[in-house]
Amino acid sequence: MNELLKESLLDYADKVISAQICYLSVDDSGGDGTIIRKDERQLINMGNCGYLGLEHEQIVKEGSINAINTHGLHLSSSRAYISSNLYQSLEEKLTQIFGRPVVLAQSTHLIHLAVLPLIINTKDLLIVDQQVHRSVQVIGEYLSGRGVTTEYILHSHLGQLSALLDEHKHKYQKVWYLADGIYSMFGDRSPNEQLLQLLKDNEQLHIYFDDAHGMSCFGEKGEGWSLSGCLKGHPRVYVATSLRKGFGAEGAVFTCQDEAVCKLVRHMGGPVIFGGPISNGGLGAANVSADIHLSGQLAYFQSKLNENIKYCQSLLELNNLPVYSDPETPIFFIGVGDPDDGVKLVQRMMVCGFYCNIAIFPAVSKKHTGLRFTLTARHTTTQIENFVETLKDELINILALSKKTIHDVDSAFERVAFYKRKTVMQ
């Protein structure tokens, strides 16, 4: 990383830390994930990625407790030697959920680190989406340093992807496209129908998804956005996903159609083998969550989440707020524009009793700062109503101090908005 970029990143980190809106230590005890306390002040938590609230289900918590009581905190050994039978049980259930072989690891980042260097080599072309999760981009940079030819495309710009495929059709053994299933800032979904067509037209194309934010929220068995629709079962689609968000437990999963690739990762993927075990408590919770996913009960939690998403989206549109996120996912993005205005807005929301996230450089471009918030199945309609009402008032006040309007925000976001607002600008 060059020094100018490093200094810029540190400046932005200092900005949000000094504003006391990031790197916070909070008390989240005794609730259901919708309430946290900071300095003895209660805040409605609008930054929780436990989308279905399964981590607060009594049966899931008991699964964790029972596993600890039976097995201890963890079995401290590399899986190359021994591992708890809780691992085997969970992998069997996850294989049923995905309908394809799986490999377990502690985190999605360890999966990326273990898998991508094994399946991509210097005979391949790597194409990286501009907004794929940073944990994936880091591995792409590593591979580039190892001699893998790497190209970057604008976010979900399939025209650029198609052009690169045409240009390099006969130059490389394989072409790998690195993308998210659900993108973490704007909550937009990968365009799977169009990607399927590109897969049909280009035999060398392979797609690697990080679908951490899609897991459990999408699919009859919660298999995620990447594998719940038209790409399900596709032999050239590879997915890494998290068990720490919608799944409500601990760990991460790699899955693909080819058992030989999964075997390679199990036996040669160093970070998976030597990255330390998932805790027994996490495995116990994950086994119970997997049972919920396979039993048909998951639909209840998905339905509650989707009701909250639709209700919140309708309120945002009714109040003509500059929302630029996907209306079908639990991640919301409210445009602000100026970084200082974004910081002030998040501060004001905290004063009013709501915790939400600042979306700021480098997660988004410098002039497209926003407020990012998430919904879970456990948020109440009253919490959502109060949040949107407060957000409208505070955003208008912040913009007025900068002599701006929502129309100015729309103008600033016109070229980068992933989902155009349905309401007419006032």
Write b or e for each residue in 255-284: b if 16 or more Cβ atoms lie within 10 A of its Cβ, otherwise e: bbbeeebbebbbeebebbbebebbbbbbbb
Asked if residue 226 lies in contact with residue 181, where contact means CB atoms within 8 angstroms, the answer is yes
First to last CA, the chain: 43
CA distance 320 to 32: 30
Asked if residue 336 lies in contact with residue 370, where contact means CB atoms within 8 angstroms, the answer is yes
Q: Where are the beta strands (DSSP E) in 32-132?
A: 35-38, 41-45, 102-105, 125-129
Biggest alpha carbon distance in the chain? 65
Convert the pLDDT of each residue in 328-358 to its tens digit. Answer: 999 999 999 999 999 999 999 999 999 999 9
Virtual torsion, Cα 25, 377, 319, 36, nearest 10 deg? -20
Task: List the structure tokens of 136.
Answer: 């994936």
Asked if residue 413 lies in contact with residue 421, where contact means CB atoms within 8 angstroms, the answer is no
CA distance 89 to 320: 49
Helix (H) or strand (E) holding 149: strand 149-153
Model confidence, pTM: 0.94
pLDDT surpassing 70 at residue 422: no
pLDDT surpassing 70 at residue 416: no
pLDDT surpassing 50 at residue 106: yes
Q: In which band, very low, low, confident or very high, does the pLDDT at 31 lie, cut at 50, 70 and 90?
A: confident
- Predicted confidence at residue 426, as pLDDT, reads 31
Q: Is 219 left (phi over 0), alpha (psi -120 to 50) or beta?
A: left
Convert the pLDDT of each residue in 187-218 to its tens digit. Answer: 999 999 999 999 999 999 999 999 999 999 99
